[in-house]
């Protein structure tokens, strides 16, 4: 049984109920009482899956090896395993099979298949039960009431709102896409005996480590089905919103789409050397293909047209021949834009999707009944929203590059144009003056990227310039919506923004009449978030940029990041810096008369800002930051998890839309000013506490040996390198490590440290440093009141509680024992902080249960916990064996170690 951790009171005010909870909460096992319907269904699926996977295990192994592996599987399924006993048995099993790890691999196939099936079924069942229509009605009604009180038009307010999940391919998708597709495609049958057996057979055959890293094009192909689901669910949501608007006395309808698909695959160049102009164009073609397929379906063929469909009704009105001509023109346009055949294409082409809509709208429907005419108009209204949202591009691909690379590119461009040879070493004021003069044409130097003396020895620059120039070609072919945003990672100064503007001007996408792409600063570290308002003010005060921005719609987008701020400064300081920094940047935009659109770069874990659902994430947001909508990244495994089926896509997108509309209606968060001083103190304490761990010279040694960080890159999870160059003299260099593997490795090793470290110490210091005007009891009560009445603080506390429920210090202790003796103090500080934070979180929540905010997920965790414990035991044993073995055995153990990472990631989010 899971052994509870002995708690110590982090502050004198800790309640006895919280102390008792430390001994109780978090326990979940095969024999735990399951009362909720969702967890009960999953428990039944788990039992059926166990039976079917054990059959596969038996087929794959000799009788003697099956006796060992099958015995472990049976123990996990039918008893409540004591982790210490399980750990001992698994270690013996691994030591006995490490020379020939066939049985180990088969045992991991069993575990990962179980956890993949359970986690995917969980999402599917939640999506099936989601009250899609009711939540949309509630969100829209909330906004209507708020809008009426402001004297605004609800249609105008909705037309200024864009809600966009943005698909990224960051390296977190450990499982083979084919394995995920097997489960996703058969979810409706997975609870039946025959269906479950079929999934288990097929999944068993495909399980294993991804043989090769995917190319960028592979990632685009993998996500194309998710894009199609997003297209379909976006249309459904637009339809339901229109139905509600039409029921109003004014009989209104949407004039602009609410939903837009976003994409980073092929455009996220920050640290991905595999992206060039050709790769970007190929990805755009893939997304465009999805758009053409969508419109071909909507204009369907009459013999396949369903009664009441647009095609059916237009044929009934006598336009079958006209529809054939429209379809032929659409086919020619598709071949021209995405086909592989020789050009030219003979015949008329559509220049954009609106021309297609115009052809359909021009067809006379007077012969139809009044009811049928209304149906056609309603479908054409939806098709208009589709053309505005999907166009012929399918999804808008963001461009992202690091500010350091942009600086190098501008420096080389200026050198080739006769400018200063030392641009990179100029001071900030000098850079701004030079760049401004070039943008405003007061400097008459003509920019040229041609090699000096016809010789080029800078392949990196040539690739960058070719890619930047391709933006204009793509705009001209597919429309400006195809590439809307140019994001700069690590934005620290105004010159970082001016460099992007100059590059876009050089590419023909910016002039005095406007900028054809949004120039978006990505502001991420705590220091940069503190400086964010000054950066934004500099941008909006720049005369050339302000003129161009006004000509382009007067809306400024900013991206706030949760990754590096968490990695460098810890979860509490990061969360508050994002929230406070965003509020201050909103005020800068308001004072300058500019609309601000906030793009959230969340990850997949609580540590990096993700909650249990869109609802939790969005409803804890400052309503003022949603006045132009909601944009959020979806990384790696989160894309198929949320948009892998039509049912999942519709439920998650509806949650995103309804929560945005509802929270928009709340307006500016009135609690910020009230609690800003308290949060500032908490953030400072937390940041200092986290810094004491992060700067510990033993931390790299502990992290490298006690987590599977060295094997992330061997998982072949993504096209982008899993890490930057991060070793020095054989040791790990933390400042070069990416945030995703940093967080993921801590989750893998049982502690989930980046989700809580510093929080308990900050809460304790705040309580204990009561002055003469307040007592410790009053300070405790203040935190409890903040939790009750402030959505931001409640969400942070609940996210922390969820991560701590997933963590297990008994398991983490075993990982820690893999690290050198001299670094064991690192784990002691992590364990002490965990106990302190848990104690105080329970005190603030005034509950003995970490998961009282989400009891459904608590039960689901209990269903999966014995399997998760077994996966951890396997990984601990494998890492230990790898450390002790010679090179030949080490090589044999790489595959099972990565498979253990797959299983743990299947149970919980990775990074």
Q: What is the DSSP string of 180-245?
A: HHHHHTTGGGTTSHHHHHHHHHHHHHH-S--SSPPPHHHHHHHHHHHHHHHHHHHHHHHHHHHHHH
pLDDT of 726 strictly over 60 = no
Question: What's residue 667's pLDDT?
Answer: 93
- Return the residue matching tokens 């001299």: 822
Asked whether the beta carbons of 863 and 42 are under 8 A apart, the reply is yes
Beta pairing class for 555-561 and 595-601: parallel
The residues pairing with 518 across neighbouring beta strands, listed in sequence order, are 485
Give the pLDDT band of residue 300 (cuts 50, 70, 90).
confident
Give the pLDDT band of residue 341 (cuts 50, 70, 90).
confident
CB atoms under 10 Å from CB of 876, counted, come to: 24
Rounded Cα distance between 309 and 500, Å, is 46
Summarize the confidence of residues 845-859 as an average pLDDT. Answer: 96
Scanning 390-525, the segments in alpha helix (DSSP H) are 403-416, 428-439, 459-478, 494-506
Give the pLDDT band of residue 738 (cuts 50, 70, 90).
confident
Give the pLDDT band of residue 718 (cuts 50, 70, 90).
confident
Mean pLDDT of the chain: 91
Token pair in block for residue 877: 């044993």
Token pair in block for residue 499: 């460099």
Peptide bond into 796 cis (omega under 30): no
Length of the chain: 911
Coil vs helix vs strand at 391: coil
**Better-predicted residue by pLDDT, 244 or 716:** 244
Token pair in block for residue 300: 């369907």
Task: State percent of the chain over pLDDT 90.
Answer: 83
Question: What's residue 725's pLDDT?
Answer: 52
Task: State percent of the chain over pLDDT 70.
Answer: 94
Question: What's residue 31's pLDDT?
Answer: 43
Question: What's residue 306's pLDDT?
Answer: 79
Scanning 151-187, the segments in alpha helix (DSSP H) are 154-159, 177-184
Summarize the confidence of residues 208-215 as an average pLDDT. Answer: 90
pLDDT (tens digit, 9 = 90+) per residue, 176-202? 999 999 999 999 999 999 999 999 999
Question: What's residue 318's pLDDT?
Answer: 94
Task: Look up the pTM and report it.
Answer: 0.93
> Going by C-beta distance under 8 Å and a sequence separation of 6 or more, which residues neighbour residue 362?
none
pLDDT (tens digit, 9 = 90+) per residue, 609-649? 999 999 999 999 999 999 999 999 998 889 999 999 999 99
Rounded Cα distance between 717 and 180, Å, is 13
Rounded Cα distance between 481 and 631, Å, is 15
CA-based Rg of the chain, rounded to a whole angstrom? 28
- State the greatest distance between any 2 C-alpha atoms of the chain, in Å, as a whole number: 86
pLDDT of 727 strictly over 70 = no
Scanning 5-82, the segments in alpha helix (DSSP H) are 16-24, 37-60, 63-78
Which run of H or of E encompasses 580? Answer: helix 571-592
Helix then strand count (H, E) for the chain reads 36, 13
pLDDT of 364 strictly over 80 = yes
Question: What's residue 434's pLDDT?
Answer: 96
**Better-predicted residue by pLDDT, 791 or 304:** 791
Question: What's residue 360's pLDDT?
Answer: 96
Question: What's residue 6's pLDDT?
Answer: 30
Q: Is 414 left (phi over 0), alpha (psi -120 to 50) or beta?
A: alpha
Task: Report the range of poorest mean pLDDT among 324-328, 704-708, 732-736, 748-752.
Answer: 732-736
Give the pLDDT band of residue 443 (cuts 50, 70, 90).
confident
**Alpha-carbon distances of 732 from 47, 705, 717, 724, 911, rounded to whole Å:** 42, 10, 21, 11, 19
Rounded Cα distance between 833 and 79, Å, is 32
DSSP 8-state class, residue 488: E
Give the pLDDT band of residue 723 (cuts 50, 70, 90).
low
Summarize the confidence of residues 432-458 as an average pLDDT. Answer: 87
Question: What's residue 304's pLDDT?
Answer: 64
Rounded Cα distance between 495 and 435, Å, is 8
CA angle, 59 then 105 then 124, to 5°: 85
Summarize the confidence of residues 877-885 as an average pLDDT. Answer: 97
Give the pLDDT band of residue 376 (cuts 50, 70, 90).
very high
Task: Report the range of poorest mean pLDDT among 673-682, 725-734, 824-833.
Answer: 725-734
Which run of H or of E encompasses 396? Answer: strand 396-397
Give the pLDDT band of residue 111 (cuts 50, 70, 90).
very high
Give the pLDDT band of residue 212 (cuts 50, 70, 90).
confident
Task: Report the range of poorest mean pLDDT among 338-352, 400-414, 526-540.
Answer: 338-352
CB atoms under 10 Å from CB of 14, counted, come to: 21
Rounded Cα distance between 629 and 557, Å, is 11
Asked whether the beta carbons of 572 and 792 are under 8 A apart, the reply is no
Token pair in block for residue 458: 């800078």
Asked whether the beta carbons of 728 and 694 are under 8 A apart, the reply is no
Asked whether the beta carbons of 265 and 168 are under 8 A apart, the reply is yes
Distance of CA 608 to the CA centre of its chain: 10
pLDDT of 4 strictly over 60 = no
pLDDT (tens digit, 9 = 90+) per residue, 83-100? 999 999 999 999 999 999
Question: What's residue 33's pLDDT?
Answer: 67
Asked whether the beta carbons of 795 and 620 are under 8 A apart, the reply is yes
């Amino acid at each position: 049984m899971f052994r509870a951790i002995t708690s110590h009171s982090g502050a004198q005010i800790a309640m006895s109920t919280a102390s008792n909870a430390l001994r109780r909460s978090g326990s979940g096992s095969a024999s735990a009482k399951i009362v909720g319907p969702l967890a009960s269904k999953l428990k039944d699926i788990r039992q059926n899956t166990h039976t079917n996977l054990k059959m596969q295990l038996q087929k794959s192994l000799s009788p003697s090896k099956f006796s060992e592996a099958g015995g472990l599987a049976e123990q996990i399924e039918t008893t409540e395993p004591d982790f210490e006993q399980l750990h001992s048995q698994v270690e013996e099993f691994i030591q006995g099979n490490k020379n020939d790890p066939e049985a180990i691999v088969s045992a991991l196939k069993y575990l990962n298949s179980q956890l993949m099936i359970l986690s995917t079924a969980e999402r599917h069942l939640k999506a099936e039960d989601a009250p899609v229509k009711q939540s949309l009605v509630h969100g829209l009604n909330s906004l209507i009431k708020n809008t009426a009180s402001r004297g605004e038009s609800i249609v105008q307010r909705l037309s200024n709102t864009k809600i966009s999940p943005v698909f990224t391919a960051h390296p977190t998708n450990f499982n083979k896409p084919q394995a995920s597709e097997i489960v996703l495609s058969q979810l409706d049958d997975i609870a039946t005996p025959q269906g479950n057996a079929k999934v288990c057979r097929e999944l068993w055959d495909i399980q294993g480590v991804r043989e090769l890293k995917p190319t960028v094009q592979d990632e685009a192909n993998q996500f194309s089905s998710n894009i199609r689901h997003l297209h379909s669910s976006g249309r459904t949501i637009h339809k339901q919103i229109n139905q509600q608007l039409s029921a109003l006395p004014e009989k209104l309808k949407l004039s602009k789409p609410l939903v837009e698909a976003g994409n980073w695959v092929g455009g996220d160049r920050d640290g991905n050397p595999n992206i060039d102009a050709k790769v970007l164009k190929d990805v755009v073609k893939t997304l465009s293909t999805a758009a053409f397929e969508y419109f071909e379906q909507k204009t369907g063929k009459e013999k396949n047209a369903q009664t009441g469909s647009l095609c059916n009704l237009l044929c009934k009105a006598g336009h079958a021949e006209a529809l054939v001509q429209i379809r032929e023109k659409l086919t020619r346009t598709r071949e021209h834009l995405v086909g592989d055949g020789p050009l030219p294409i003979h015949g008329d082409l559509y220049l954009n999707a609106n021309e297609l809509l115009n052809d359909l709208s021009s067809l006379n429907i007077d012969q139809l009944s009044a009811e049928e005419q209304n149906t056609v108009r309603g479908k054409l209204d939806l098709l208009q929203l589709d053309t505005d949202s999907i166009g012929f591009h399918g999804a808008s691909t963001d461009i992202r590059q690091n500010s350091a690379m942009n600086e190098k590119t501008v420096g080389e461009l200026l050198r080739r144009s006769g400018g200063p040879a030392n641009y990179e070493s100029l001071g900030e004021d000098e850079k701004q003056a030079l760049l401004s003069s070039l943008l405003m044409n007061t400097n008459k130097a003509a920019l040229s990227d041609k090699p000096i003396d016809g010789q080029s020895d800078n392949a990196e620059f040539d690739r960058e310039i070719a890619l930047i120039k391709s933006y204009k070609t793509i705009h001209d072919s597919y429309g400006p919506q195809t590439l809307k945003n140019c994001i700069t990672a690590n934005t620290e100064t105004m010159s970082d923004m001016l460099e992007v503007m100059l590059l876009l001007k050089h590419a023909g996408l910016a002039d005095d009449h406007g900028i054809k792409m949004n120039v978006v600063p990505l502001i991420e570290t705590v220091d940069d978030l503190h400086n964010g308002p000054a950066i934004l003010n500099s941008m909006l005060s720049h005369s050339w940029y302000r003129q161009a921005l006004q000509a382009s719609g007067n809306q400024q987008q900013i991206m706030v990041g949760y990754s590096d701020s968490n990695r460098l400064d810890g979860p509490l300081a990061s969360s508050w810096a994002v929230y406070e920094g965003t509020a201050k940047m909103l005020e800068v935009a308001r004072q300058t008369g500019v609309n601000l659109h906030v793009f959230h770069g969340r990850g997949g874990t609580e540590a990096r800002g993700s909650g249990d659902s869109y609802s939790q994430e969005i409803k804890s947001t400052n309503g003022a930051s949603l006045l132009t909508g909601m944009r959020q990244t979806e990384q790696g495994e989160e894309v198929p998890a949320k948009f892998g089926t039509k049912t999942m896509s519709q439920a998650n997108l509806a949650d995103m839309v309804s929560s945005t509309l509802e929270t928009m209606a709340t307006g500016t968060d009135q609690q910020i000013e009230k609690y800003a001083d308290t949060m500032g103190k908490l953030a400072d304490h937390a940041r200092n506490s986290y810094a004491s761990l992060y700067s510990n010279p033993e931390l790299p040694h502990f992290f490298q040996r006690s987590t599977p960080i060295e094997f992330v890159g061997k998982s072949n999870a993504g096209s982008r390198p899993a890490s930057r160059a991060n070793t020095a003299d054989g040791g790990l260099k933390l400042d070069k490590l990416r945030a995703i593997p940093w967080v993921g490795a801590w989750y893998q090793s049982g502690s989930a440290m980046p989700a809580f470290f510093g929080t308990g110490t900050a809460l304790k210091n705040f309580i204990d440093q009561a002055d003469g005007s307040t007592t410790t009891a009053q300070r405790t009560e203040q935190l409890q009141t903040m939790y009750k009445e402030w959505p931001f603080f409640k969400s942070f506390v609940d996210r922390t509680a969820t991560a701590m429920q997933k963590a297990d210090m008994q398991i983490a202790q075993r990982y820690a024992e893999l690290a050198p003796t001299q670094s064991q103090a690192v784990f002691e500080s992590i364990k002490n902080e965990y106990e302190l934070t848990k104690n105080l979180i329970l005190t603030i929540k005034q509950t003995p249960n970490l998961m009282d905010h989400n009891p459904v997920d608590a039960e689901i965790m209990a269903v999966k916990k014995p399997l998760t414990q077994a996966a951890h035991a396997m990984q601990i044993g494998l890492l230990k064996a790898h450390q002790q073995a010679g090179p030949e055995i080490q090589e044999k153990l790489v595959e099972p170690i990565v498979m253990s990472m797959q299983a743990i990631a299947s149970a919980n989010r990775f990074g």
